Amino acid sequence: MARLIPVADPADPRLADYTRLRDVNLRKSLEAEHGLFMAEGEKVIRRAIATGHPVRSVLAAHRWVEPLSDVLGDAPVYVVDDAVAEAVTGFPVHRGALASMERLPLPSVGTLLPGVRRILVLEDLVDHGNVGAIFRCAAALGVEAVVLSPRCADPLYRRSVKVSMGAVFAVPYARMTDWHGGLAELRAAGFTLLALTPDQSATPIGKAPLGERVALMLGAEGDGLSSRWLREADEPVCIPMSGDAMDLGVDSLNVVAAAAIACHELMRPGVL
């Protein structure tokens, strides 16, 4: 049985986990300090719970509690009206319950790799929505794990979780501790490192050498992969662009579209 606790004061300290959800800097420090993250909506909360994340608490209007009551255990459920929810979080919470969940310890890169043959490596992506969308692609298409550079945006940030539709819980990931040496560890584990680049002189992704273990490297929005990582790759690969498009100045895909195509190619039939 969920423990329903009506709360009428937005300043109630029990609601502190839900403070100002649109304030990125505040949220980063608050979530790091308390080891928590936010899950929004029934579907995503269910997936977070199903993948073993303990519920710290739930914040919800009364109408959103019942659909979740079978999975909340004895976590406190702070029942608020819409005005209180908005006063605490800083935005109108229409779409359902919010849950404050405990983060699980991340595996190291070394413990992530055994048995895995197709991975993505994300270098310094800054946009949480893009990170979430790439996890969704990876999960849907069967990429088995994701490795993040030390500065890559957090997959458990609220917007990442939401855009991923919960795929951030489905695809195991780890964060490199060392940007300089991180790729060497992947190569030592037998991965061929493919660097995705808009450079049209690179090998088309459809013709890339796909060995037993492949790591596809994706760079930041705008800047792409760093020159150091490009140099360290085994092979630069590109998605062939239309010549007309380049004449028109539309010279690239966004990183999510590029990731989708690349994941699809990595998993093409006959290769695995």
Q: Give the residue, chosen from 24, 184, 250, 271, that forms a contact with its own copies under the rule CB under 8 A.
A: 250
Residue 237 token pair: 């690969």
Counting contacts by CB under 8 A, is residue 125 touching its own copies? no
Minimum distance from residue 100 beta carbon to its own copies (Å): 21
Could you tell me how many residues of this chain bind its own copies (CB under 8 A)? 40
Residue 165 token pair: 């539709």
Residue 107 token pair: 């595996």
Considering only residues 183 to 242 of the shown chain, the ones binding its own copies according to CB under 8 A are 204, 206, 239-242
Residue written as tokens 């062939």? 240
User: In 3D, which of 161, 157, 131 has the Cα closest to residue 146?
Assistant: 131
Counting contacts by CB under 8 A, is residue 167 touching its own copies? yes
Q: Give the residue, chosen from 133, 153, 195, 217, that forms a contact with its own copies under the rule CB under 8 A.
A: 133
Q: Give the residue, chosen from 106, 140, 189, 230, that forms a contact with its own copies under the rule CB under 8 A.
A: 140
Q: How far apart are CA 242 and CA 208, in angstroms?
A: 19
CB 215 within 8 A of CB 195: no
Counting contacts by CB under 8 A, is residue 49 touching its own copies? no
Query: Based on CB atoms, which residue is closest to its own copies, 42 or 185?
Result: 42
Q: Which of the stretches 7-15, 68-76, 211-219, 243-251 binds its own copies when contact is defined by CB under 8 A?
A: 243-251
Q: How far apart are CA 128 and CA 112, in angstroms?
A: 22
Counting contacts by CB under 8 A, is residue 257 touching its own copies? yes
Counting contacts by CB under 8 A, is residue 166 touching its own copies? yes
Phi, psi of 28 (to 5 degrees): -55, -50
Q: Give the residue, chosen from 56, 103, 213, 264, that forms a contact with its own copies under the rule CB under 8 A.
A: 264
Counting contacts by CB under 8 A, is residue 71 touching its own copies? no
Q: Which of the 8 DSSP states describes residue 220? A: B
Q: Is 117 helix (H, G, I), strand (E, B) or coil?
A: coil
Q: What value does the CA radius of gyration of the chain take, rounded to a whole number of Å?
A: 21
User: In 3D, which of 191, 82, 173 has the Cα closest to residue 122?
Assistant: 173
Footprint of its own copies (CB under 8 A)? 43, 47, 50, 133, 136-137, 139-142, 165-167, 170, 204, 206, 239-245, 248-254, 256-261, 264, 267-269
